[in-house]
Amino acid sequence: MEKFNYVAVKKDGSDIKGIVEAVNLNDALTKIKAMGYYPSQVLPDKKNNKKDSISNSFFARLNFLNLSGHKIKEMDLVIFTRQLSVLLDAGLSLVRALHALQKQSRFKSMNEIISDIVDMIESGRAFSDALAHYPVTFSKVYINIVKAGETGGAMDQVLRRLADFLERNLKLRQRINAALIYPSLVLAVSVSILILVIVFVIPKFMEMFQGTGIALPFLTLSIMSLSDFMLTKWYVFIAGIVGLIAGYKMLLSNFTFRKFIDNFKLNIPVLGGLTKKVIAARFSRTLSTLLSGGVPILRALELTKEVIDNEVVATAIADVSDHVREGGFISKVLEHNSAFPQLMVNMISVGEESGALDKMLSKVADTYEEEVDVTANTLTSLLEPFLVIIMGGVVLLIVLAMFLPLMTLIQSLT
């Protein structure tokens, strides 16, 4: 159980503040509404939850590793959502449609989830409330879009849009991963060969040079020292790498450091442009789907902020929420932030003026998803020869380091 600070409005219109214990944010909202209040702000109580952060992080890792049995593959979730939409559009009730999907599902974990959801619905719970019991499988965006569909009474259409959203998000991630596979493979193979040369080949040359009495160049001495270190102090080398990774992970828990890294990602040459396009596509697609699904603008911005994995952009979205709450436009805040492309800002401005923001955001997302695909492919084609040149240069240095003293030795013998 976590503690949440809330600000809510009473029935008489007055404000009230307090703390509520709940399993998650959705549970906290439910409890606050059950008290007869209308929540305007609900945030985790970081001070009281700090001591539980280690255990929460541990269990989050368990969920990520799928030890809980409730983590479903993204494509399976897309298929589930789309098939449920089709069945509802065909006229089946929600319970019957879920039963039909349960029978044809090949995965035990999915069957268990659907079974529990059906039981909760039959006991009088709303579909969105039932989904909220599985936060690892169903994101907050998913749950809130379903909740909006329950209110609007067009669940089949909402689920169809939701399935499109999930599928496009998955394809975007797959494009980026596919673009990185070959360069990562080249880098891994090159580093492996380099380590093998340093550990197994260079020691043979070291044995050859011992006792010859020739003066070894600085480059040769450096390479030989590195080889000797990796052979005799390999555990220090491994411990150093593990320590660097662990230290980086620990520093990421600090907001200031995390924001610095995220800002660096946005401004790094070449790759920064791709990062901005990915964020633009994800921001536009998420906000468009939420708005078209009937989620209120302020709640939609809050959920979009949680989807974006960048503190600089998340801070900008928080500023947008504050501005919109006061009656302002989204584009007015975004135009002053370099993290958002100018074309995106102009298109959003047009959408706000025409009253079709959700449709314009969808066009923005389409535009930048295509640009991400083109940019990723271009970067991959440029990165491949660059990696080959870098690794070739390193190998050349090693060859020179070993053969320069060998040539000196041959000349002295002749």
CA 158 to chain centre: 24
Domain span at residue 23? 2-64
Q: Is 2 helix (H, G, I), strand (E, B) or coil?
A: strand
Return the structure tokens found at 2. Answer: 């976590």
Nearest to 18 by CA among 1, 49, 39: 39
End residue of a domain, out of 19, 37, 64: 64
Question: Do 122 and 186 fall into the same domain?
Answer: no
Q: Is 44 among the domain residues? A: yes
Planar angle of CA 377, 379, 384, nearest 5 degrees: 100
Question: Do 88 and 59 fall into the same domain?
Answer: no
Taking the CA of residue 382 as centre, how many other CA atoms within 13 Å lie in the half-sphere pointing to its CB? 8
Question: Do 95 and 8 fall into the same domain?
Answer: no
Q: Is 152 among the domain residues? A: no
Q: Is 145 among the domain residues? A: no
Q: CA dist 160 to 84, 139, 164, 273, 281, Å?
A: 9, 16, 6, 32, 19
Q: Collect the ranges in the chain with pLDDT lower than 50.
A: 50-69
**CATH number, domain containing residue 85:** 1.20.81.30
Q: pTM of the prediction? A: 0.66
Q: Is 150 among the domain residues? A: no
Q: CA dist 164 to 80, 90, 181, 218, Å?
A: 12, 19, 26, 61
Q: Is 69 among the domain residues? A: no
Q: Is 131 among the domain residues? A: yes
Nearest to 283 by CA among 261, 264, 260, 301: 301
Question: Do 113 and 13 fall into the same domain?
Answer: no
What letter would DSSP give residue 329? -
Q: CA dist 146 to 28, 40, 67, 118, 127, Å?
A: 18, 20, 27, 15, 8
How many domains does the chain fold into?
3
Question: Do 133 and 244 fall into the same domain?
Answer: no
Nearest to 110 by CA among 69, 144, 67, 140: 69
Question: Do 52 and 122 fall into the same domain?
Answer: no
Planar angle of CA 356, 357, 358, nearest 5 degrees: 95
Q: Residues 320, 132, 84, 92: is their CA dihedral positive or negative?
A: negative
